[in-house]
Amino acid sequence: METIKAYFALTKPRVIELLLVATFPAMLQADRGENHIALILLTVIGGWMGAAAANTFNMIADSDIDKVMKRTERRPLAKHTVSNRNATIFAWSLTVISFFWLWLLCHSLLAALFVMATIAFYIFVYTKWLKRSTPMNVVWGGAAGCMPVMVGWAVIVDNLPAGQPHNWWQAIVLFLIIFFWTPPHTWALAMRYREDYEAAGVPMMPVVKKPLEVTKQIIAYTVATVLTTFALLPAAGWLYAVVAVAAGIWFTWLAISLHQGVKKGVEVRPMRLFIMSNNYLSAVFLALSVDALLGLPTLI
């Protein structure tokens, strides 16, 4: 049982929650008003295996710094619960199965190729290069976490009748929402574990910049996130519009409050923003999912 738990931990199950949050609204929005439950479930399973593979490869590449950081010292490879060799076999197995699952069962070679590109980008561009070389690591590296919407969109459009509009611009908007959301989400966590990242030699923004500069950046990317959600308003209904505006005001207020606390020199709780940013993204994407599933009239 402990071995099974260790392999499950290699997949970073809490990180994979983003896969579920992002895939459902993308697939429902890609064909508003239609119910593709079986296809969505197949896609989530295939996408989960791809994300699990990427996260396992990430743990293998980061096993050296995971042993140094208190936040990660209990991960399976850091504790030697699983060997690097077995973890590599596990990751490659998930990669291969994910590719053929999405291609053959979900009938989307494009989605399968998206997953392969994501794994390669996450490991070779983000983990092995950006993460250890620049404080902008999560800005550009965060693109890997945006890919579930592209995978989900690809599956739907590859299964639509010929001649039906694909509206890829909406998938790009959803991609950008997560892209701009990732830095404030991650930097809030890095503010809390700044000493950990510093000890491991990872140049996260809170390690190399003063707290006031970090919170300014957090506000900028938070505002960019909220404004990007508004770009989808013409293709959505009133439910998404209400939640996007209300949640956007709330998310922006949280970022500004963190900045004001740092500016005043009082004790701040960046983990509150980290946790609440998850709630923000979940609220916006849940609203879009329901809005699309009900097929509510679009605003334009």
pLDDT tens readout for residues 216-240 = 999 999 999 999 999 999 999 999 9
CATH T-level assignment (fold) for domain 167-299: Four Helix Bundle (Hemerythrin (Met), subunit A) (1.20.120)
Task: Round to whole Å and give the CA distance between 191 and 135.
Answer: 13
203, 218 in Cβ contact below 8 A? no
Phi, psi for 82 (deg, rounded to 5): -125, 140
Neighbours of 192 (CB within 10 A): 18
Count, in order, helices (H) and strands (E) of the chain: 14, 0
CB 206 within 8 A of CB 190: yes
Mean pLDDT over all residues of the chain? 95
Amino acid in the structure at residue 157: V
- pTM for this prediction: 0.96
How far is residue 127's CA from residue 3's CA, in Å, rounded to a whole number? Answer: 25
* 1-166 and 167-299 share one fold: no
**104 phi-psi bin (left φ>0, alpha ψ -120 to 50, beta other):** alpha
Residue 16 has pLDDT above 80, yes or no: no
What is residue 14's predicted lDDT score, i.e. its pLDDT? 80
Q: Give the residue extent of every domain in the chain.
A: 1-166, 167-299
In one letter, which amino acid is 1?
M
CA distance 240 to 235: 10
| pLDDT confidence tier of residue 1, bands split at 50, 70 and 90 | confident
pLDDT in tens, 25-68: 999 999 999 989 999 999 999 999 999 999 999 999 999 999 88
Alpha carbon of residue 150 to chain centroid: 12
On the 0-12 / 13-18 / 19+ scale of CB atoms within 10 A, 265 is: exposed
CATH 3.30.70.870 fits 1-166, yes or no: no
Q: CA-CA distances (angstroms) from residue 223 to 135, 144, 177, 264?
A: 20, 21, 11, 22
Would you state the pLDDT for residue 150?
A: 97
Max CA distance (Å), the chain: 60
Task: For residues 273 and 45, give the distance between their C-alpha atoms in angstroms, rounded to a whole number.
Answer: 30
